[in-house]
A = this chain, B = another copy of it.
């Protein structure tokens, strides 16, 4: 099976949630791209239909945009 690609930009509020969802998905089924450090990935993400991060691009081309409602406590 082709891998899914998880695009993120290291958002400090979301990073624990991102790690949590990655923990649910077996490592060999997902590639992680950090757009903050991998600028070449930005064009690829845009071409895949990514409008915001974090997003999970599935092997069949579907793009899931993930919104983590940051808790007020995290922003203090």
Using CB atoms and an 8 Å cutoff, list the residues of chain A in contact with chain B. Answer: 4, 16-17, 20-21, 24-26, 29-30, 49, 51, 56, 58-60, 62-69
B65-A69 in contact (CB<8A)? yes
A64-B62 in contact (CB<8A)? no
CA distance A30 to B20 in the complex (A): 13
B56-A69 in contact (CB<8A)? no
Residues of B contacting A29 in the complex (Cβ-Cβ under 8 angstroms): 24
Residues of B contacting A64 in the complex (Cβ-Cβ under 8 angstroms): 17, 21, 66-68
Residues of B contacting A56 in the complex (Cβ-Cβ under 8 angstroms): 21
Q: List 7 A-B contacts (CB under 8 A).
A: A4-B24, A20-B62, A24-B25, A24-B29, A62-B68, A63-B69, A65-B67
